[in-house]
Chains A and B, each alone.
Chain A
Amino acid sequence: MFIDEIYKVEAPYREPMVVKGYRFGKGDKAACILGPMRGNEIQQLYICSQMVRVLKELEGNGCISAGKEVLVVPVVNSYAMNVGKRFWGVEGVDINRRFPGNSYGETAARIAGGVFEKIKDYSYGIQLASFYMTGEFVPHIRMMETGYQNASLANLFGLPYVVIRKPKPIDTKTLNYNWQDEMTAAFSLYTNKNSEVDEASANQAVAAVLRFLTRMGIIRYESHSGYISHVIMEDDLTNIHVTSGGIFRGLVRAGEDVRYGHKMAEIIDPYEGGVKETIVAPTDGIVFFTHTEDLITENDMAYRLIHRLHA
């Protein structure tokens, strides 16, 4: 294992922020695994740290394939993490909206550019990512529909779902989009949590990445076969919006099966305590995303369902 300095930022009153890369094996730039660009992505940090731990062990046992190199960047935005902010600096910039970066631009663009320079030549790029809205997901691989995306490769992670998203203008600045633009097969891996560690789901994510690396011949590792992934288009998800604001009492979890008419949540009147709205499933399906905050605003998305087709 080698530890590289990927990028360094100086601050007047803090130790420099050094983005570190942990390099395993030697040879073709096979796979890069990248962690938090947002300060609340603690689960993603934990997953990357566990990847480093396992890969170190595998390397010690001679299980990194000859001629293959794997790079893990456990965290990019450690500065935000240490001060409890989600985005970069006093400007509050989302580094994941600054790719491919610019070495003559503003600080966040320089960070994105400096990191991208070091990770863009890998064949496979795996980002441990979070959604802009807070909430819980069914673990899945997300890809941008760029024309270069390869859903059958995404199936090799063995997670239950692969979601394809049609990029909006704002997505063209993300790492995933720019990786694909550089011909790296890019995958964003989402687990259920962001700002707290969920050990079981983190282990599932580590297992999925190891399974992928094994199936691509990059490492040798005994992994069980995982799920056969369903590929879904994000636009095909059924979004359930609430029609009033109040205290949100969620009754189903991500991954649960619901039937048409099933009671999914209640909105409680924040003054009088009674139920002011009941949310029921508009279709049979599997809960893909749930709102998790205890407060909810009118029109907010409480759930996203994967519509289930009957055989």
Chain B
Amino acid sequence: MTEEIFSIEMPVGERLIIRKNRIKGEGTGEKRLAVVTGIHGDEFEGQYICYEIARRLHENPELLDGTVDIYPALNPLGMDIADRNIPKLNMDLNRMFPGKENGTTMERAAAAIIGDLAGADLCLDVHASDIFVKEIPQVRVSEEFAEKLLPYARLLNTDIVWMNATATVHESTLAHSMNMLGVPTLVVEMGVGTRIDRGYGKQVIDGIFNLMKELGMWRGEVPKTQFPVISTDGEVEFIRSHTTGVFLPAIEHNHYVKKGSRLGSVVSPLEGKVLEEIIAEKSGLVFTLREYPFVYEGALLARILMEVDKN
């Protein structure tokens, strides 16, 4: 059953509406899982995840014991024009939580989102990466809430769980606000902006049903899932460009590299010259790789999870 959780009048003949779909199982269970996505309008990976969860639940309502709330577009205007931020306002919705009930339009929207999610037993905030780098499926957990969140994070069938990644630590994010309210909230991230990788999507969806099974919300079969590598910031090597030009990767995303191997080059199309060779300084898994070719000095090219051997 779809419901409007927030609605306001825009200037010219339209309402801004944030919707959710509440799917109730046939069992008597009281547990509630919330799946939210679309805070950033340029991230579409969550669209497939929402669709596929809703589809499977509608197909087998007798296997669901509890309630699953699906919020596919928390920033509906941003999604409409693939704007990461809130259009016109040019602000990141994920820096506006917990919002303000008597504030400006989007502060009220943020407050309404929090109000609607409050009371859930668990919340998953699904992000894609931005349009600049591609990510393997991962859960991001801030150290502050790690003890509470790790047992859930492990169940989600991702490749890694990254503890204390700076973006999620930010106090004005949805995840931080929800965790402060006592609703365990996990940030899931995968893929790249404006695209859907269904392979990654399926992997995480299997993880979500695995999690629901552990929570006692799902009576159906669950495929065998993997255990993620748990990593901290100290184990992640950031590789940034030292020059300005066009980045041409020499490796595949989600592959292991040895120390000293070439990851790619930054080139000058005008001069036909290689400006910089990018060399791995540590061995490990390339879990982040740049997709967007143009780079300035400082641009993120890759992230390597160190000391992970091929097994």
Contacts and interface: CB of A to CB of B under 8 A. Distances in A.
Contacts of A261: none
A107 B243 CA distance: 11
Contact of B11 (A10, A104, A133, A295): A295
Contacts of B108: 299
A9 B102 CA distance: 42
Contact of B132 (A87, A91, A110): A91
B170 interface: yes
Contact of A10 (B9, B16, B296): B296
Interface residues of B, number: 38
Interface string A77-108: 00000000011011110000000000011111
B298 A298 contact: no
A106 B90 contact: no
Interface string B284-297: 00000000101011
Contact of A296 (B11, B270, B292, B297): B11
A91 B40 CA distance: 13
A6 to B, nearest CB: 16
Contacts of A297: 8-11, 16, 105
B296 A9 contact: yes
Contacts of A241: 102, 104
B296 A107 contact: yes
Contacts, number: 89
Contacts of A245: 8-12
Given A169-B170, A170-B95, A170-B172, A106 B299 contact: yes
Complex A-B, nearest 5 residue pairs according to Cβ-Cβ distance, in ascending order = A295-B11, A245-B9, A169-B171, A107-B298, A298-B9
22 contacts: A11-B296, A12-B294, A87-B90, A92-B84, A92-B85, A104-B240, A107-B297, A107-B299, A109-B298, A110-B297, A133-B104, A170-B95, A244-B9, A246-B11, A247-B11, A270-B12, A297-B8, A297-B10, A297-B11, A298-B8, A298-B9, A301-B104
Interface of A: 9-13, 86-87, 89-92, 104-110, 132-133, 168-170, 239, 241, 244-247, 270-271, 295-301
